[in-house]
Amino acid sequence: IAFLCSSKAGFCTGADYKIDGGLTAGIGVK
């Protein structure tokens, strides 16, 4: 998740957001 806050995430949030977002969502549901 920290990676999403980094400057490098600016051009690759599309793919990483789906991966981290899904993982975070799964944890949130549980």
**22: enclosing H helix or E strand:** helix 13-29
The CB density around residue 6, as the number of other CB atoms within 10 Å, is 8
Ranges of each domain in the chain: 1-30
**Using CA atoms, how far apart are residues 24 and 3, in angstroms rounded to an integer?**
13
CB 13 within 8 A of CB 20: no
pLDDT at 20: 56
Least Cα distance to 3 among 29, 28, 15, 25 occurs for: 15
pLDDT at 18: 53
pLDDT tens sequence across 1-30: 555 555 554 554 455 555 555 565 555 555
**5: enclosing H helix or E strand:** helix 2-5
